[in-house]
Amino acid sequence: MTLRAVKPETMQKRLKLFTFSEPGVGKTTGAIQFPQAYIIDMEKGTENYSATIAKSGSVVYQTTNPNDVRAEVKELLTQKHPYRTLIIDPITIYYGALQEKWNMIFAKAAGSSGKSSETIEMQDWGFRYWAKIKSEYKSLMRMILALDMNVIITAHQKDTYGAGMQRIGVGPDSMKGDSHVFDYVFQLSNPSGKIDGKRLARTIKERAEIGAPKFPDEFEWSYANFCKYYGKEVLERESKPMALATKEQLDEIQHLLETVKIDEATINTWLTKADVDEWSEMTFDTLQKCIDFLKKKIEPTKEKASV
């Protein structure tokens, strides 16, 4: 087999950051400094800043429904729009809402099987329950990372514990490990103790060239500083939509899979390679390659039948 590795090229990636802090530090007010932002407000934190948001060309969508969040992000991914930055404030609420959603689904299924309400209320749904939550959460993260937009995800802060339930520090109150997928993680603090005072960002994690970090260990959180350290031209670059699989393609792939014998392992390999859980999450081009492959497998069968 021919080796397929190539020399890496320098890329001007969009800013993808995750930030957390104690209450009252100013995660929301810090995030909304970014102009032309699409803000998914999950705890009504933007209600006191309508003038600031309007002046910066940003808009707000308030919801606590995880289905709504996914739908909005998908539209931002696939439709042309004027926004440069996606803000989800905070992801903590989204994670809790996902748990509630799947708890209701599992409880409804248990109720239809004849279990008593008392039994359902005390039910530990176990691995399948958490697998559903993790799958849906990861699906949202994949779309967020695929967005041709800057992304700011905020989270509440919580204490973290080690062996023997000893407190070892603090971290984001969200799904375990979700901050790992982001290039930058910052912890916010407010030394002045005032909501409108100086906000300091401490760099917890940064993916950058060895020996050439973009951000200092600690800096004042301001849009001017993000432009300085990351580049205004990158932050304000126009976003480009991504073409996802169409309904026609999805219908065609299902029809082909009913006609052509393809083992489950091969299908799982295709999905894994595309980093998706289902066909509908594939890009137009990737799914078309799968369709073309299946069509080629049908052609020899047609030729034999015509002989």
Average pLDDT over residues 266-295: 89
The H or E element that residue 138 is part of is helix 126-146
With cut-offs at 50, 70 and 90, classify the pLDDT of residue 182.
very high
Long-range own/partner contacts, residues 130-135 (CB < 8 A, 24 or more apart): 132/102, 132/105, 133/98, 133/99, 133/102, 133/175, 134/175, 135/277
Average pLDDT over residues 238-242: 92
Structural domain boundaries of the chain? 16-235, 247-306
Average pLDDT over residues 175-199: 81
Contacts (Cβ under 8 Å, ≥6 apart) of 163? none
Spatial distance between the Cα atoms of 35 and 80, rounded to a whole number of angstroms: 17
Cis check for the bond before 90: say yes or no (omega within 30 of 0).
yes
Contacts (Cβ under 8 Å, ≥6 apart) of 29? 49, 195, 196, 199
pLDDT tens sequence across 200-226? 999 999 998 888 899 999 999 999 999
Spatial distance between the Cα atoms of 179 and 186, rounded to a whole number of angstroms: 10
pLDDT tens sequence across 21-67? 988 888 999 999 999 999 999 999 999 899 999 999 999 999 999 99
pLDDT cut 90: percent of the chain above it: 55
Which has the higher per-residue pLDDT, 12 or 194?
Answer: 12
Joined tokens for residue 71: 């739908």
Spatial distance between the Cα atoms of 47 and 40, rounded to a whole number of angstroms: 12
Q: What is the pLDDT of residue 59?
A: 96
Q: What is the pLDDT of residue 62?
A: 97
148-152, 208-212, 298-302: least confidently modelled range:
298-302
Average pLDDT over residues 254-277: 87
CATH of 16-235, one of 3.40.50.300, 3.40.50.720, 3.40.640.10, 3.20.20.70: 3.40.50.300
Contacts (Cβ under 8 Å, ≥6 apart) of 101? 66, 67
Spatial distance between the Cα atoms of 52 and 168, rounded to a whole number of angstroms: 38
pLDDT at 307 over 50: no
Q: Average pLDDT of the chain?
A: 87
Whole-prediction pTM = 0.85
